[in-house]
C-alpha cells in the first residue's frame, strides 16, 4: 500500500480535501480516501506540495496529424487551415509513425490517461494497440457529395473492423456540419451503435453559421474551390447547430467540439434535443486557428457538461491538458480549479463511458494520479506543471 498526501486533493466527485490521504495498492487502485493523516504512521506518508488530481482525459485529439507540428500557419481561419492541411499532410510513413509515437509519449508524460482521438485512416492504430493510454477512436467522415456517401461510409466500416480486431473501441462520426451530406449523415445515424459516443466539430468558425443561414461566406467558397456543387444546399436555419443537430443519433453521448461561435440559444436547443450533450473546449487550438475563444461563461450558466481537448499538433504547441486549463483560467479567472479539473477528468470519462475506471478518486478505480505543482491562490498559474505519480 502507498499513502499519498498533498496540500490539496481533488477527488472530483466531491469537494477538495486539504491534507487528505489517498490510499492505493501496488496496481494504483484506490483503496481509501481519507480526510486527514490522523492514525497513519507518518513515515509511510508520501507528501506532495501542491495538488493531486486524477489522470486527465483528452476528449479531442488528432494523433495522426502530429507530424505537422509547426508546419501550419496561425490565424488563417478554418478555411485557410483546411486548405494548408490538404497540401502538407502527406509525408513519409516513417516520419508520420515516429511523430505519432512521440505524441503518444508526450500525452502520457503530461498526465493524460485516456483520449478521444480522430482518425481518417489507420496510421495511429499500431501505436494505440501498444500504448499505456486508453484510446477511443472516432473514425471521421468527409463527404459533401451525396453520390459518394456509401463509398465513404464503407471505407470507414473497413477501418472499424481493423480496430475491432485489435480490441480498440471506435465510433463512426461526421467531421463537421459543412463537410457531410444529408445522405452520409443518414448512414452514420442508421448504423450507429447506441452505446458508442460520437463527436462533431461544431461552430469552430463564424462562417459555419453563415453557411447554414445564407449559403455564403468563406466556407462556401472553400467547398466550391474543392469542386463541390452547392446547388442542392438549402440555407434556411438560425445557426449551423440548429440546422444539423437532428441528423445526429440521439441515443448516446454526443460531444460538440470547439463551440467557438455557439450562442446561448444554441446551447438551449441542444439541451432540449440531445439526451446527453457534452461540450469540448480546445482553447489553444481556437487561438491558433481563429485567434479567439468560446464564451465559456454561457456554458457554465446552462450547467452544461464541459470537457477539455488538445486538438492536434497541427493546430497547437503541445498536447497538454494543463496548458488548456491555464488558458481558460487566465481568460475566465472566476472559474474555480475544482470545476476545471472536473472538465478535465470525470466529465471526459463519462463522455467516453469509462467512468468506472477513470475520472475520480473513488474506491476500486484506477484513474491515474497527477501532481500539479506551483499553484497560485488555489488555481493554476503560468508556472504550474504536471508530474505523473501513477
Q: Which tens digit of pLDDT belongs to each residue from 269-298? A: 999 999 999 999 999 999 999 999 999 999
In the predicted structure, residue 357 carries a pLDDT above the cut 80:
yes
d(CA 306, CA 339): 10
Q: Do the Cβ atoms of 306 and 57 come closer than 8 Å?
A: no
pLDDT value of residue 221: 86
Confidence of residue 185 (pLDDT cuts 50, 70, 90): very high
- Asked whether residue 229 carries a pLDDT value surpassing 90, the answer given is no
Helix 321-331 to helix 337-344 angle (10° resolution) is 140
Mean pLDDT of 242-248: 95
| Residue 257 dihedral angles phi and psi, to the nearest 5° | -105, 130
- Classified as helix, coil or strand, 295 is coil
**Cell numbers linked to 348:** 471526459
**Domain spanning 56-358: CATH superfamily:** Metal-dependent hydrolases (3.20.20.140)
Can you give the length of the chain in residues?
Answer: 390
Whether 93 shows a pLDDT value over 90: the answer reads no
- What is the per-residue pLDDT for 144? 86
Domain locations in the chain as residue ranges = 1-54+360-390, 56-358
Name the CATH superfamily, with its identifier, for domain 1-54+360-390.
Urease, subunit C, domain 1 (2.30.40.10)
The answer to whether the CB of 157 falls within 8 A of the CB of 190 is no
Residues 325, 304: Cα–Cα separation, whole Å = 17
Q: Give the pLDDT confidence score for residue 75 in this predicted structure.
A: 92
Per DSSP bridges, beta strands 276-281 and 253-258 are: parallel
The average pLDDT across 66-75 equals: 92
At how many degrees (to 10) do helices 77-88 and 218-225 cross? 20
Q: How far apart are CA 153 and CA 142, in angstroms?
A: 9
Amino acid at each position: 500500500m502507498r499513502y499519498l498526501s498533498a496540500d490539496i486533493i481533488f477527488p472530483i466527485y466531491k469537494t477538495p480535501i486539504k491534507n487528505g490521504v489517498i490510499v492505493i495498492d501496488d496496481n494504483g487502485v484506490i483503496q481509501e480516501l481519507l480526510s486527514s493523516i490522523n492514525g497513519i504512521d507518518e513515515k509511510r506518508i508520501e507528501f506532495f506540495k501542491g495538488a493531486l488530481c486524477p489522470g486527465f482525459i483528452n476528449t479531442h485529439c488528432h494523433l495522426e496529424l502530429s507530424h505537422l507540428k509547426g508546419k501550419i500557419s496561425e490565424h488563417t481561419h478554418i478555411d485557410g487551415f483546411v486548405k494548408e492541411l490538404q497540401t502538407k499532410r502527406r509525408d513519409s510513413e516513417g516520419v508520420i509513425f515516429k511523430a505519432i509515437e512521440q505524441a503518444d509519449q508526450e500525452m502520457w508524460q503530461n498526465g493524460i490517461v485516456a483520449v478521444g482521438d480522430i482518425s481518417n485512416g489507420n496510421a495511429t492504430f499500431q501505436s494505440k494497440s501498444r500504448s499505456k493510454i486508453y484510446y477511443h477512436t472516432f473514425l471521421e467522415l468527409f463527404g459533401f457529395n451525396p453520390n459518394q456517401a456509401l463509398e465513404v461510409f464503407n471505407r470507414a466500416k473497413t477501418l472499424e473492423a481493423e480496430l475491432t480486431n485489435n480490441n480498440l473501441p471506435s465510433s463512426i462520426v461526421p467531421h463537421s456540419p459543412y463537410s457531410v451530406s444529408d445522405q452520409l449523415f443518414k448512414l452514420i445515424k442508421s448504423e450507429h451503435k447506441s452505446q458508442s459516443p460520437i463527436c462533431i466539430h461544431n461552430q469552430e468558425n463564424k462562417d459555419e453559421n453563415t453557411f447554414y443561414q445564407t449559403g455564403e461566406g468563406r466556407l462556401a467558397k472553400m467547398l466550391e474551390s474543392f469542386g463541390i456543387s452547392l446547388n442542392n444546399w438549402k440555407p434556411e436555419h438560425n445557426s449551423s447547430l440548429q440546422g444539423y443537430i437532428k441528423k445526429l443519433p440521439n441515443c448516446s453521448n454526443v460531444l460538440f467540439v470547439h463551440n467557438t461561435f455557439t450562442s446561448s440559444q444554441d446551447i438551449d436547443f441542444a439541451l432540449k434535443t440531445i439526451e446527453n450533450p457534452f461540450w469540448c473546449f480546445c482553447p489553444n487550438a481556437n487561438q491558433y486557428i481563429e485567434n479567439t475563444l468560446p464564451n465559456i461563461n454561457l456554458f457554465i450558466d446552462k450547467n452544461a457538461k464541459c470537457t477539455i481537448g488538445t486538438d492536434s499538433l497541427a493546430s497547437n504547441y503541445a498536447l497538454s491538458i494543463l496548458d488548456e486549463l491555464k488558458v481558460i483560467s487566465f481568460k475566465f479567472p472566476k472559474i474555480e480549479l475544482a470545476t476545471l479539473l472536473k472538465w478535465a477528468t470525470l466529465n471526459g470519462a463519462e463522455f467516453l463511458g469509462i467512468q468506472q475506471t477513470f475520472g475520480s478518486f473513488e474506491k476500486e478505480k484506477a484513474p491515474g494520479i497527477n501532481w500539479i505543482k506551483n499553484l497560485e491562490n488555489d488555481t493554476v498559474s503560468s508556472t504550474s506543471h504536471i508530474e505523473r505519480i501513477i
